[in-house]
Structure 1
Amino acid sequence: MLKKDFDKKLDDLGLSRKDFADLTGLAYSSVSNWHDEKKPVPSWVGSWLENYSKARDLDSAVAIFEPYINKKSLS
């Protein structure tokens, strides 16, 4: 993944590089120092962002349906 693709995916998810660093436990300086040739974006980052996106979407879906699932029937 190129750095511009990484930044685009972060933007699509509404995350900053600082947010990503905090979520992953990486130093912000490490994330900022990723460059396409000398220090490429690590290979695991793409799948991490994909899983983060899916988990966030599923958490939102659960929050929408949870009140209806936990409601007792009125019979």
Structure 2
Amino acid sequence: MAATRTAKNPTAHNDSPNTPDVREGAIAKMKVAELRQKLRTHGVKDTAELKKPELVQRLIKAEVAATKKGSTAKKSTKSTAAKK
């Protein structure tokens, strides 16, 4: 069954082609408590007043940033290894 975009689930699939590891559809399906917990693991604070759509967007941004940071670290490790 293909995921479709609806008002309840505005990010039915991965809308970030440069970050294939971030599953936006899976994030949108998470419960509010799960979203807040994941955001805490990314170091995001002050989520108590946010509604679910805002939590989803913040978590997507945090996951994208973590993915980009991880890929940058991998690239620098490879270039350092190549210089030795």
Indicate the TM-score class for this superposition, using the shorter chain for normalisation.
0.3 to 0.5
- Which TM-score applies when normalising by structure 1? 0.44
| Greater percentage in helix | 1
Q: Which has the bigger relative contact order, CA under 8 A and spacing at least 6?
A: 1
State the structure with more CA Rg. 1
- Which TM-score applies when normalising by structure 2? 0.41
